[in-house]
Amino acid sequence: MQTRSIQYWLLFTFVTILGIYIVAICYFNGNPEIMMTESKPYFSSQCLSKDTTSPLDRNGRLSIAVWNIYKQKKQDWQPVLKQLTDHNDLVLLQEAKLNHTFATYLEEIHHHVVMAKGFKLLNVPMGVMNISSQPANQACAYQTTEPLIRFAKSTLVASYPLSTGETLMVVNLHGVNFDIRLNRFEAQFKQVIHKISSHRGPIILAGDFNTWRDGRLNIVKHLTQGIRLQEAHYRTDFRKRVFGLPLDHLYYRGLTLVEANSDRTTASDHNPIKTQFMLMNE
């Protein structure tokens, strides 16, 4: 009898803790939110827009970097990020942690910032972020909840004017990680593939996709091939790998790839991707 009472008590305790955890995670995740430095309030639900005609490219040339910044845990993240923002028109970050230190840094570099929150801890947003030389026309935030740990991964869909009169669509995506059946992982990509398929201008789809097993990589390849996206091929390739498979990717369409590299750094647990493109003439 005493053994059964202990079992009931343990079960009650487990269910209570699990319930508290789920409620807390739902609070941390909240609704999809977007931040754009040109718009107020600082964070707003789902989408923001700004009237701008300033082209992101420089005389038909476009430099784009992609980097999982590892929540700025490494001491030397600032000089590496400054180098990326100084030498690229657009930098796509994953695992950006918008604490006071990072917010101050962003104000000092005088670039344009768009962020899609995945979740908040102690009121500090974490998610994916675009840092650009020119402001985005529009940006929308999306969330996909991890099936096991329940924290949300974010996706940012933004658009930028180009000197050709076209609009560049940029998808910055941090892939769901803890998904055994890959249902959420595939749904996360299908959501953005649907948006990409209706866009008529150039496209960038990039980020930390968490493609650490063949099934994940096959889903990405199948969906991107279906809308004629090409994957960048690297002259030097030190992208982070797990089980021999790269986690970070950049796909493109409607642009001419000039060069792509991924060089080593100690400023994160991921090495950044750096690319150069030329705009295609009509």
Mean pLDDT for 68-72 is 97
Look at residue 173 in the predicted model and tell me its pLDDT: 98
Q: How confident is the model at residue 40 (pLDDT cuts 50, 70, 90)?
A: low
Mean pLDDT for 233-240 is 98
The answer to which of 33-42, 43-52, 183-192, 227-236 has the lowest mean pLDDT is: 33-42
DSSP per residue over 185-222, as a string? Answer: HHHHHHHHHHHHHT--S-EEEEEE----SHHHHHHHHH
pLDDT over 70 (residue 279): yes
What is the Cα–Cα distance from 56 to 160, expressed in whole angstroms? Answer: 6
Structure tokens at 267: 């400023």
Picking from 52, 63, 67, the residue whose alpha carbon sits closest to that of residue 255 is 63
Instruction: Spell out the residues 6+ positions from residue 238 whose beta carbon is closer than 8 angstroms to its own.
Output: 262, 263, 264, 271
Q: How confident is the model at residue 282 (pLDDT cuts 50, 70, 90)?
A: low
Look at residue 31 in the predicted model and tell me its pLDDT: 79
Look at residue 214 in the predicted model and tell me its pLDDT: 97
Mean pLDDT for 25-41 is 70
The answer to which of 8-22, 51-65, 143-157 has the lowest mean pLDDT is: 8-22
| Residue 272 · residue 279 · CB < 8 Å | no
Full-model pTM: 0.89
Mean pLDDT for 74-99 is 97
Look at residue 14 in the predicted model and tell me its pLDDT: 52
Look at residue 5 in the predicted model and tell me its pLDDT: 66
More confident residue, 59 or 42: 59
Look at residue 180 in the predicted model and tell me its pLDDT: 87
Look at residue 21 in the predicted model and tell me its pLDDT: 47
Structure tokens at 232: 């960048």
Residue 8 has φ and ψ, to the nearest 5°, of: -60, -40
Question: Mean pLDDT across the chain, nearest whole number?
Answer: 89
- DSSP 8-state secondary structure symbol assigned to residue 198: T
Look at residue 170 in the predicted model and tell me its pLDDT: 98
The three-point CA angle 209-250-54 to 5° equals 120
In this predicted model, what pLDDT tens digit does every residue of 114-170 receive, in sequence order?
999 988 888 899 999 999 999 999 999 999 888 876 688 999 999 999 999 999 999
